[in-house]
Amino acid sequence: MAMSLVAELANARRGHAFFSFLQHNGLELGIFGGIIASALATTDNAQPWLPAPWPALLAALPGVVLLVERQFAYRMRSAWHEEFKTRLRALERAVAYERIQEPEISRQLSALELEMNRKYPRPTENVDSATT
């Protein structure tokens, strides 16, 4: 029965690792794209080479990336998934190597899930903290 608990912990950890990777790297890619778009819009301003709407769209992209990051809190959510993954790995090791009994691990996992649910970054919290 403990092996099914180890498998459950491992699956949850892999899921949180995937979302942490996706949110962090997606944000970094968006920021890099914003920098490139800004550079292209700047060069077009010096020597026009793009059709009419493109320089304005490219110039607006960095602001859109920042607005999306601020609204959806990708960095904070990535850190949240990273913390959850690390704590799940610790529980996984406790089951596998410390021979902690299933009821105790179940209680610890339930407490961890409740705590992490309270810590989850919500957009309203992010907007409030950004305006103060």
37-87 confidence digits (pLDDT tens): 888 888 887 778 888 888 888 888 888 888 888 888 888 888 899 899 999
pTM of the entire structure?
0.66
With cut-offs at 50, 70 and 90, classify the pLDDT of residue 117.
very high
pLDDT beyond 50 at 20? yes
CA distances from 114 to 14, 15, 109, 111, 119 (A): 19, 18, 9, 5, 9
- List the structure tokens of 72: 């959806």
39 lies in which domain range? 2-131
Q: Note whether 123 and 72 are within 8 A (CB).
A: yes
Count of domains for the chain: 1
- Dihedral in degrees, nearest 10, Cα atoms 74, 79, 80, 82: 120
Quick one: pLDDT at residue 4? 79
Q: Note whether 19 and 37 are within 8 A (CB).
A: no
